[in-house]
Chain A
Amino acid sequence: MDYVIQTEQLTKRFGTFTAVNAISFAVTRGEVFGFLGANGAGKTTALKMLTGLLTPSSGRATVAGFDVWRQPEAVKRRIGYMSQRFSLYEDLTVRENIRLYGGIYGLKRAAIRVKTADLLERLDIGAYADQLVAGLPLGWRQKLAFSVALLHEPRIVFLDEPTSGVDPLTRRQFWDLIYEAAHAGVTLMITTHYMDEAEYCDRVSIMVDGKIEALDTPRNMKAAFGAEDMDEVFRLLARATATND
Chain B
Amino acid sequence: MSISVQNISKSYGPVQAVKAVSFEVLEGEIFGLIGPDGAGKTTLFRILASLLLPDAGQARVDGLDVVQDYKALRRRIGYMPGRFSLYQDLSVEENLGFFANVFGAHIRDNYDLIRDIYVQLEPFSDRRAGALSGGMKQKLALCCALIHRPRVLFLDEPGTGVDPVSRKEFWDMLRRLRASGITILVSTAYMDEAALCDRVALIQKGEILAIDTPRGLTAAYRHPLFAVRSDDMYRLIRDLRDLTPDADCYAFGEYAHLVVPGGGSPSAAILQYLEARGHTGVELLPVQATVEDSFIDLMKNGVWTT
**Which residues of A are interface residues toward B (Cβ below 8 A)?**
37-40, 137-139, 161, 164-170, 172, 175-176, 179-180, 182-183, 193-196, 199-200, 218-219, 222, 229-231, 234-235, 238-239, 242-245
Contacts and interface: CB of A to CB of B under 8 A. Distances in A.
B250 interface: yes
21 contacts: A38-B166, A40-B133, A137-B38, A164-B160, A164-B161, A166-B36, A166-B189, A167-B36, A167-B189, A168-B299, A172-B296, A193-B190, A200-B253, A230-B253, A231-B164, A235-B165, A238-B163, A242-B135, A242-B169, A244-B123, A245-B133
Nearest to B36: A167
B234 A168 contact: no
Given A39-B134, A235-B164, A229 B38 contact: no
Contact of B250 (A165, A172, A194): A172
A164 B35 CA distance: 12
B120 interface: yes
Contacts of A170: 36
Interface of B: 35-39, 120, 123, 133-136, 160-169, 189-192, 204, 233-234, 237, 250-254, 292, 295-296, 299-300
Contacts of A195: 164, 192
A50 B204 CA distance: 37
A148 to B, nearest CB: 20
B164 A234 contact: yes
Contact of A167 (B35, B133, B254): B35
Interface centre among B164, B233, B254 (most CB of A within 10 A): B164
A130 B251 CA distance: 32
Nearest to B250: A172
A172 to B, nearest CB: 4
A230 B254 CA distance: 9
A170 to B, nearest CB: 7
Contacts, number: 107
B23 to A, nearest CB: 19
Contacts of A161: 161
A130 B300 CA distance: 27
Given A39-B133, A172-B250, A179-B234, A166 B37 contact: yes
Given A138-B38, A168-B292, A245-B133, 7 more contacts: A39-B135, A40-B134, A169-B300, A180-B234, A219-B254, A235-B164, A242-B169
Given A139-B36, A199-B254, A242-B135, A169 B161 contact: no
Contacts of B234: 179-180, 182-183
Contacts of A175: 251
Interface centre among A139, A164, A169, A195 (most CB of B within 10 A): A169
A-B pairs with lowest CB-CB distance, top 4: A167-B36, A165-B37, A39-B134, A172-B250
